[in-house]
Structures are given as structure tokens and as C-alpha cells.
């Protein structure tokens, strides 16, 4: 089967997330990077293209030029999907342009800067019938998919409590450093990051994991956000209370200033019969807790796994898999959709997940701004 021809916007020399996407696309073995606009500096973009072995005439000066030129190429040569790995403020315009030009899209999260923009993209995806994958990477972990399967089977009984947290410490040294370092971080600038830093960057991952694994929608939230230091315009820390229904509640705790923490994303779903716990820093272990039995440990690539989780691992049992493989699983699901092959719901996050994320982010910001009040999601 021929590789899917991929273009990329952003992700040039030194860009971590762009490199992660390229590695993931190669791991799943379904894509070939053929063109792109890799940097706002055309010389740097050309240097990157040369290093990647991409033809010079397919390294473009602008996104507009790329879309226009690629459309004129023969069908067997032109790109089929565009991967967007730019700062948040550019997601909407580039995704809209790519969809309008007839190209499938893989986009980093958050989907857009506003709920209105997100809703517009969702309508455009529905109109064009094109594939749109949003890279909430953690949904690609086999044990997260195993968690989703177990919950769907009813094994936990009635869900009674849901907790998720995402703690990092990377920005701690930055905000306590010099002013120039603070102004040089685009995630602290509302013009580039949007309405939120902490909740918009990592808190939304916890939100997404909750809705992905449980199949439930969070109905209302109450937030308490903290910029931590004078002069910081966006939240760097926060707690969000959750209401799913009258009898089911939960919490999201998220922070970018927990010194020493790395990528401490965890989720726990507590039921009347059993409970499940998973953590991103040890992603191959899913724990099932019970009042009546010893704790069970699920791992990927074993015969007892559900079919969806079993199809998500890339290595035999006992060989650890990580973030690249998780992202590759999302690319694999998107490839099935692009090729119009059969795939299962949950194999890749969609534009709808992006809309839900934007509604969460803005509800959190509004709740805090209005004095910590309950807001609908």
C-alpha cells in the first residue's frame, strides 16, 4: 500500500513537537513527508527540508503558496494530508485553509483560540467529509484504550468519582528568572497561547482523558486559577471542580509550577464495584482496585487485553512503549480514515473533541474571572 503523502506547517529545526509528529508518522509506517512550510524564516525552512531530503521546490515560502502549488500537482504526487504543529494562534486559519483546499488535516491541540472558531471548523469538516485528527496524544496509549474498554464493559459498576491531574514544573525556573526569559515564552502570551496557559496547554489533556475513557460529558465546572506571580497574564496553576450529574462529580488539578514534576498526568475512575488508575509516566501499567480482590495490573500486548488495546501496541509484551508510539497510534487511526478503511471510534480524536476542549478552556477562564462560579461546558 502506498504511503500517504504528508505536508507539514511548522515543526522545523529545533521544534520538539514537530519532531514527535514526524517520528510517529514513521513508526506507524503509513506516511511520507513530501512538502511543507517549516519555519517563518524561509532560509531555515530550506535548511530543514534539505536535511530531511525533501525536494527544494516543495519547500514553500508560505502556507498559501503550498496549498496552491500542491493542488496543481498530479493526484499521485500531491500531498494528501497537512500536519499543523504551530503555536495555537495559527491553528484555525491554517486548518480552515487546508480543509477548504481539499486536504485532510492532523492538528495539534488546542484546536483554535475561541469556541466560535472551533465550531466553524467542525462545520467545515462535516461539509467537506475530510478526515480531521486532533492530537490528544495520550488517547493513543494502549492502556488508556484498555481503560476505555473496561469502563464501557460495565466492570466498574456505577461510576461515583473521577479525579485527574496534570502536574509539570518546567515553567517554574522561567518565571523566577529574568524578564526577557518570561517575554520569550509564547505560552505566556495571550496573543499566541489564547485565553489560558496551564489549563489550555495541559489541563485540557486531563479533561480530554476523562471524557475519552468514561464516555461521559462534563456538564458544569467551577474553577480557581492562579497566575502565581505578578506580571503573568495567564494561569499557571489551577483546580477545577466537575459536575457530570447530580450524583457524579470529580476534579481536575493542573499546574506548570510544581518544581521537580515532569509530565505527571494521572487519571482515576472510581466505581461501585471496582476502580481504575493510570499514570502517563508509567504508561504500560493500568491498575484495577477492588474492595474484595487483590489489585490487578493490566499491561499491553498480553492475550487478556481487549481487541482495541491489543491492536494499539506495536511491540511484544515486556517491551516498553511511550509517547511516540501513542502518537503513532493516532496517526494509524487517521490513516485508516483517510484511506476510507474501517476503523473504530476512539482510534483518533476528532474535531468534535477539539470543540469540547475549547468549551472547557473558556468555561474554566470565565468561571475564575466571574468569581469562581459554576459554568456550563
- Cell (9 digits) for 271: 466505581
Topology of domain 4-137 in CATH is: Rossmann fold (3.40.50)
CA distances for 105 relative to 91, 134, 170, 308, 316, angstroms: 11, 8, 30, 24, 31
The secondary structure of 87-104 as a DSSP string is -GGGHHHHHHHHHHTT-E
What is the distance in angstroms between the CA of the first residue and the CA of the last residue of the chain? 42
Q: What pLDDT score does 244 carry?
A: 97
Q: What pLDDT score does 114 carry?
A: 95
Q: How far apart are CA 329 and CA 140, in angstroms?
A: 5
Phi/psi for 341 (5° steps) reads -90, 165
What single DSSP character describes residue 137? Answer: G
Q: What pLDDT score does 320 carry?
A: 81
Q: How far apart are CA 297 and CA 319, in angstroms?
A: 16
Q: In this structure, are strands 264-271 and 237-245 parallel, antiparallel, or unpaired?
A: unpaired
Same fold, 4-137 and 141-306+351-369: no
Give the HSE-up count for residue 185: Cα atoms under 13 Å, Cβ half-sphere: 18
CA distances for 302 relative to 48, 294, 313, 372, angstroms: 40, 19, 10, 46
CA distances for 94 relative to 63, 89, 91, 111, angstroms: 7, 10, 6, 11
Q: What pLDDT score does 204 carry?
A: 97
Q: What pLDDT score does 352 carry?
A: 97
248-271 residues labelled b (16+ CB within 10 A) or e (exposed): bebbbbbbbbbeebebbbbbbbbb
Q: What pLDDT score does 183 carry?
A: 55
Q: What is the second-level CATH architecture of the domain 141-306+351-369?
A: 2-Layer Sandwich (3.30)
Coil vs helix vs strand at 371: coil
Q: What pLDDT score does 179 carry?
A: 55
Q: What pLDDT score does 180 carry?
A: 54
Coil vs helix vs strand at 267: strand
Which residues of the chain, if any, have pLDDT below 70? 178-184, 306-308
For 40-86, how does the pLDDT look when each residue is reduced to its tens digit (9 = 90+)? 999 999 999 999 999 999 999 999 999 999 999 999 999 999 999 99
- Cell (9 digits) for 117: 472558531
Domain positions in the chain are 4-137, 141-306+351-369
Residue bearing cell 524578564: 179
Which of 13, 26, 336 shows the shortest CA–CA distance to 36?
A: 13
Amino acid at each position: 500500500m502506498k504511503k500517504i503523502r504528508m505536508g507539514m506547517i511548522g515543526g522545523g529545526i529545533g521544534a520538539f513537537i514537530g519532531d514527535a509528529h514526524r517520528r510517529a508518522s514513521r513508526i506507524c509506517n503509513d506516511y511520507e513527508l513530501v512538502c511543507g512550510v517549516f519555519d517563518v524564516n524561509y532560509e531555515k525552512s530550506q535548511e530543514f527540508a534539505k536535511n530531511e531530503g525533501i525536494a527544494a521546490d516543495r519547500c514553500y515560502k508560505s502556507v498559501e503558496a503550498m496549498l496552491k502549488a500542491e493542488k496543481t500537482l498530479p493526484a499521485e504526487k500531491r500531498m494528501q494530508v497537512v500536519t499543523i504543529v504551530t503555536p495555537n494562534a495559527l491553528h484555525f486559519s491554517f486548518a480552515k485553509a487546508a480543509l477548504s483546499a481539499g486536504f485532510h488535516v492532523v492538528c495539534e491541540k488546542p484546536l483554535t483560540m475561541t469556541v466560535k472558531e472551533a465550531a466553524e471548523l467542525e462545520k467545515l469538516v462535516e461539509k467537506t467529509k475530510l478526515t480531521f485528527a486532533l492530537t490528544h496524544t495520550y488517547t493513543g496509549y494502549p492502556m488508556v484504550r484498555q481503560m476505555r474498554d473496561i469502563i464501557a464493559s460495565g466492570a466498574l459498576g456505577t461510576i461515583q468519582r473521577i479525579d485527574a491531574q496534570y502536574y509539570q514544573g518546567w515553567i517554574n525556573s522561567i518565571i523566577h528568572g529574568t524578564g526577557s526569559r518570561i517575554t520569550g515564552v509564547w505560552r505566556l502570551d495571550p496573543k499566541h497561547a489564547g485565553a489560558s496557559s496551564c489549563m489550555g496547554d495541559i489541563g485540557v489533556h486531563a479533561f480530554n482523558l476523562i471524557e475519552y475513557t468514561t464516555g461521559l460529558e462534563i456538564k458544569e465546572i467551577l474553577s480557581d486559577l492562579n497566575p502565581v506571580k505578578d506580571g503573568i497574564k495567564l494561569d499557571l496553576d489551577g483546580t477545577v471542580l466537575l459536575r457530570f450529574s447530580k450524583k457524579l462529580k470529580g476534579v481536575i488539578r493542573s499546574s506548570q509550577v510544581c518544581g521537580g514534576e515532569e509530565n505527571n498526568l494521572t487519571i482515576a475512575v472510581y466505581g461501585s464495584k471496582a476502580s481504575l488508575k493510570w499514570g502517563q509516566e508509567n504508561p504500560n501499567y493500568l491498575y484495577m482496585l477492588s474492595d474484595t480482590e487483590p489489585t490487578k495490573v493490566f499491561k499491553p500486548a498480553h492475550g487478556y487485553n481487549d481487541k482495541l488495546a491489543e491492536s494499539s501496541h506495536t511491540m511484544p509484551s515486556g517491551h516498553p512503549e511511550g509517547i511516540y508510539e501513542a502518537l503513532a497510534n493516532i496517526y494509524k487511526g487517521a490513516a485508516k480514515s483517510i484511506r476510507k478503511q474501517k476503523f473504530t471510534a476512539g482510534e483518533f480524536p476528532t474535531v468534535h473533541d477539539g470543540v469540547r476542549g475549547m468549551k472547557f478552556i473558556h468555561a474554566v477562564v470565565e468561571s475564575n474571572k466571574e468569581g469562581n462560579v459554576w459554568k456550563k461546558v
